[in-house]
Amino acid sequence: MSKAGDSRAEILLGLPRHERAALLAGMDQRQQLALRHHWRLWAHAGQLPPPGDWLAWLILAGRGFGKTRAGAEWVRAIAEADPQARIALVGASLGEARSVMVEGESGLLALAPRGKRPRFEPSKRQLRWPNGAQATLYSAGEPESLRGPQHSHAWCDEIAKWDSARAQSAWDNLLLGLRLGERAQAVATTTPRAVPLLKRLLDHPQVAVTRGRTFDNKANLPPRFIAAVRREYGRSALGRQELDGELITDIEGALWTRALLEACRDAAASGTDGWARVVVGVDPPASSAGDACGIVVCALAGDGTARVLADASAEKASPERWARAVARTAQGWQADRVVAEANQGGAMVESVLRAADLALPVRLVHARQGKSARAEPVAALYEAGRVRHAGQFPALEDQLCGLLAGGGYHGPGRSPDRADALVWALTELMLGRQGAPRVWLG
């Protein structure tokens, strides 16, 4: 397993000025211009292919590490060296494959040197290099499109983001088609998430793994961005995953596991029609300087299953601000009801929601059990396949995976505010009202 390090360019720039000037003076104009596209000079160690006879190279790193640039430069090197190369470019969707892998700031079109830039034919989903090498775009959400085509190489981007129900089929179909050339290989670039495909690759003996952190690429990132994400996320679970590139695994005794949540995942909701009921669950904070205000939208379908539609939680918000966030969320999702915990001052909760002009029935609920005890019957609904997540909710899901059976919470943060809001919403939709009073506002 390799790790990131300084780039050769950083070492070069660290030389005394007269030594740098002497090096440049010894080059002709063509060589000086070529420096811009000399990837092995500018790349840090984690962006360069590892040695050995690997089938796949997995770059598992935080955001901003330079994963996309590393994947694109690997493809460029293959295409420019081999006119017979036939390369698969696989994204979570065709749109993402095009916007990130081909046309993005670190994509194949942007980094290609003049005279060697490929021609992109969107209608054919194809790139063609001047020497004859070709690359074709695919969506991991359509595994059957990878059944049949043959390739010599492949670049798969953000594999942990691929549709969990189709990800392994897409990977298998891709590998079965890697049968051109003498040394077929694939590169997979991703921010880590505990999904089955990623775990499978980490256990594979022919997969070389490079791990890295956002800060390994600090020379190419704005200092204000580095300072802001350090301050905001620090060593939280989200920060460890999205910045440090850690694979966050399950906590023993947790009510929810990563595998359970992935098994319950659907595509993101695209509208508000077709639901029997829509409820916004709210877990108000004790103060604006404390925890977030949990605001989670859930809906009940006609078949009796529920969908988690959105996490609109507000961080460090004043009562007026989080009340407006609740009102906007309820209006945007055409909610039938808002369910808000009133333990932290029922009168205050009622007054701030009234001030936000929330013209909806609001039910104030009082917690008579601990958070984990309230969550256990909701977790059982997940186990029974009666709750689905419409999209990705990292912060909410981290909290769900921190709630322990029998009581207790194992981070992130001091309180599972988002998870508690989800529990109130799903309890309202699927487990009855438990006799709490209804308050009509507006």
Measured over the CA atoms of residue 173, residue 175, residue 181 and residue 186, the dihedral's sign is: positive
Please give the Cα distance from 202 to 198 (Å, whole number): 6
Nearest in space to 90 (alpha carbons), one of 164, 6, 8, 158: 158
pLDDT at 5 over 60: no
Q: Are residues 73 and 155 in the same domain?
A: yes
Looking up residue 293, the CATH number of its domain turns out to be 3.30.420.280
Range of the domain at 200: 2-242
pLDDT at 441 over 60: no
Structure confidence at residue 390 (pLDDT): 93
How confident is the model over 311-338, as pLDDT tens digits? 999 988 888 888 889 988 998 999 999 9
User: Helices 417-430 and 371-383, interaxial angle, to 10°?
Assistant: 60
Three-class SS of 59-110: EEECCCCCHHHHHHHHHHHHHHHCCCCEEEEEECCHHHHHHHHHCCCCCHHH
Structure token digits, residue 413: 């943060």
What residues does 155 pair with on adjacent strands? 89, 187
Q: Which of 197, 216, 242 is the last residue of a domain?
A: 242
Q: Which of 196, 217, 242 is the last residue of a domain?
A: 242
Structure confidence at residue 39 (pLDDT): 81
How confident is the model over 237-287, as pLDDT tens digits? 667 778 888 887 778 889 999 889 888 988 777 666 689 999 999 998 876
Q: Are residues 286 and 220 in the same domain?
A: no
Please give the Cα distance from 296 to 416 (Å, whole number): 12
Q: Are residues 238 and 262 in the same domain?
A: no
pLDDT class of 413 with cuts at 50, 70, 90? confident
Q: Are residues 171 and 265 in the same domain?
A: no
Please give the Cα distance from 235 to 254 (Å, whole number): 20
CA 382 to chain centre: 22
Assessment of whether the complete model's pTM goes beyond 0.85: no
Residue 381 neighbours by CB distance under 10 Å: 18
Structure token digits, residue 133: 């090498």
Structure token digits, residue 60: 């598992």
Please give the Cα distance from 79 to 56 (Å, whole number): 17
In a domain, 250, yes or no: no
Structure confidence at residue 32 (pLDDT): 55
Structure confidence at residue 430 (pLDDT): 94
Looking up residue 159, the CATH number of its domain turns out to be 3.40.50.300
Structure confidence at residue 245 (pLDDT): 86
How confident is the model over 142-196, as pLDDT tens digits? 999 999 999 999 999 999 999 888 999 999 999 999 999 989 999 999 998 888 8
Please give the Cα distance from 314 to 328 (Å, whole number): 12
